[in-house]
Structure 1
Amino acid sequence: MKRVTVADQDIQETAAALDLAIETAFDAVEEARSFAEACRIAEALLFASAEPLSTEAIASRLPGSAPATAVLRTLEKEYAARGVNLVRLAGKWAFRTAEDLGYLLSREAVEPRKLSRAALETLSIIAYHQPVTRTEIEDIRGVSTSRGTLDVLIEAGWVRLRGRRKAPGRPVTYGTTEAFLVHFGLNRIDDLPGLDELKGSGFLDGRLPPGFGVPTPSDDPHLREDEDPLGEDIFAELAEEAANRVEEPLRDEERK
């Protein structure tokens, strides 16, 4: 019977430890390769996509159990100092030209449709005060707001019909869309500038009346307690309004 000495035990333990270290090193290398491949795949998906992608959409295309969030954060860091940045828009991910290089890609062009001042004011009110009705928009603006102004914003994809206010007449409530966030480069609606930022940029006069404030915006998609679902009758109502707007100019012509 062979006698095992203390030295032999030390050698065996050292060999076992070495085997474990080698195995761990190989696992680490393989994990690093897998992570690098996941980064390449995510990069390709984002580059090829015409629209921002959610973390879940990217995760579904990654191999194995690659951590999508870690992959995206790695790419975000890698692209931070480049001419193209990986940014978050409306909670999704997309490549965009670095802000400080935007001027290089700008060119003069005729805009097919420019928003009127009334439309811009209406859009701002909806963004900050949503959910808001047409009457509430008019109360804030101090002037009437045509249905056509709201239609322009809806056609642009920046405003949507949310529901109906639980009030006499059951007026429609309006809110902003994901496309609004993407177009204006916002990740969340609360990224909109607050009172201090608006004053600092010159959009608001520094001498504001006492008690003046800018509401904290919220675009929670769920209906609030004072809102009801739209219902199928909304389509008939909108069609009737559209018909009335078309007929109105004809009536004016008939009066001449």
Structure 2
Amino acid sequence: MNRLTTLFQHKTADVLNVYFTAGFPQLTDTVPILHALQEAGTDLVEIGMPYSDPVADGETIQKSNQQALDNGMTVATLFEQLQGVRQQGVTVPILLMGYLNPVVQFGIEKFCQQCQATGVDGVILPDLPLEVYEREYKALFAKHGLQVVFLVTPQTSPARVRQLDGLADGFIYLVAAAGTTGAQTDMNADVDAYLSRTKAMGLRNPTLVGFGISDAASFAAASRHTTGAIIGSAFIRLLQNTPAQGQATAIKEFVAGIRP
């Protein structure tokens, strides 16, 4: 059974998903950060595949993408790094988040094969059109045991949300506000109403909310109406400001501070 499915069967609240960019701050940091996040108690990990034009991401993650690319990170290198992590004791579900262009350049079928070989559980491709996915890629992803996560915004119509929920098989990624990642989104009345409205739809997939979650208060507020939340930019900033030798300790303290 897919690790994402198992996770959501056993945990239905306060699920913490942490995002980081592969190959950042240093090219070889990917696997040590993955291990540290698991040891700190993160429920699932979202690894960003760096791209030169990450349109859904804010300045912090854009800069981490550029630095990772400058470090020499590629999709092929990421798979090389992930080779064997499951044998090294990594049991946490792993998602790869990125954009369609590098995946197509790598080869969609080859990408799916490599995901399966390295123990990747799912993918988030924000610029993959739903209709293209359904027509061209759905069967291929399923064949290789990959779950697909779709994004929903406050502007997404209920009919579209239902359509996305019908096709997703990982979770629904609720964007807390229209815009790019990392924007400081206060869990204000509008956001609360949006999350409450989505909860009332009774979706079949779990829901995780992202964009602007940075501390225990915003995590708790976001998780009130959802299965949990996603933290990205705040974690990238932590990595950026932490010396290499203190990375594991800083990650443990960061996760403990989000979900005391």
Q: So what's the TM-score if we normalise by structure 1? A: 0.21
RCO (CA 8 Å, sep 6+): is it higher in 1 or 2?
2
Larger radius of gyration: 1
Q: So what's the TM-score if we normalise by structure 2? A: 0.21
